[in-house]
Amino acid sequence: MTREMKEHVESQYHKVKEEIISRHEQLFPSSITLDGFLWAFSMLRSRAFSHLRGQLVMLPLVDLINHSASITREDNAEEINGPAGLFSWDLLFCLKSTMPVKEGEQVVIQYGLKKSNADLAFYYGFVEPNTNRDSYTLTFNISELDPFHREKLDIAAANDLGETAYFDIFMDRPLPPAILPYLRLVALQEADAFLLEPVYRKSIWKTLELPVSHVNEELVCKMVIDACESALSGYRTTVEQDEKLIQEGNLGYKLEIAVTVRVGEKRVLQQIEGIVKEKEAQLDKLEYYHERRLKELGLVGEEDETYCQPKKDSIPTL
């Protein structure tokens, strides 16, 4: 994560330097270096408040407020009308505690309930011992070589996803709601490609929320399992080895944070792989698109017998 983020910031620096700084040098009397740009970026990401007026706001002193895992709400900042001088009123920043604070106690807030330990480590320099902060970002993409690349790309874009999609998976939490529809879309092959036709466009995402076909669901499982196994193979240590390193307590502060994030990622990958392998073993018991459609048309009875024509009480009405 750190390497990818640094590469992203460096690319943004070169873009800003080319499109803005170099064209308006008179506005920048002091040289803006990459190190300075990285510092400014880190200050914004770690200290700015982002939920006021829909923009980033830097507030000296307020940004010294520490985080506490005991705080389970994020509504700790708001704008209020208040005195801005002797005879004037204006919008003021208000920081509030979501729990009682005694005199002399430290005021703390929640930095973000949706942030993973990797986020906390990267932006703030600490982690929590809670395993529900453990996460891993799985990445999937629609191949340019896919014969239905354009159609799939259009459907993904219509659902706020792109050619490459990133899904943050957290320990002991449900999968992101968009991951299975996206993977089923990616895995659609010729036998199920009729679903990509324009007549199905309005309803295809809802269709993809449920299993499409045995072949499609099998490919989805394989994609996830392969991704997990590939990621796990990139680590040089096991979960048990990392847990032992942490328990021994001989790691420095930064190294302990890194190992904590690393072992959390492995746990998440192992959990996902186990869940998907269990699902893979149950594929024959799932109900797929054609079966659901036949039932909707009244061509399948309660005992799964099929009819040549719909039962009278099952004929869809217009």
Six-digit token string for 204: 């295809």
First to last CA, the chain: 53
CA distance 77 to 53: 12
In the residue annotation, 235 being an active-site residue is answered as no
Cβ distance 119 to 129 under 8 Å? no
> DSSP letter at 316?
P
Q: Which residue type sits at 141?
A: N
Q: What does the alpha-carbon distance between residue 57 and residue 35 come to, in Å, rounded to a whole number? A: 22
Euclidean distance between CA atoms 295 and 126, whole angstroms: 53
Q: Give SS3 for 168.
A: strand
- Is 36 strand, coil or helix? helix
> Percent helix, strand and coil across the chain, each rounded to 5?
50, 15, 35
Computed over its alpha carbons, how large is the radius of gyration of the chain?
26
**Token pair of 288 as six digits:** 């797929």
Q: Which of 13, 111, 136, 182 is catalytic?
A: 111
Closest C-alpha among 87, 129, 71 to residue 259: 129
Cβ contact 189:151 at 8 Å: no
DSSP 216: H
Residues belonging to the active site? 111
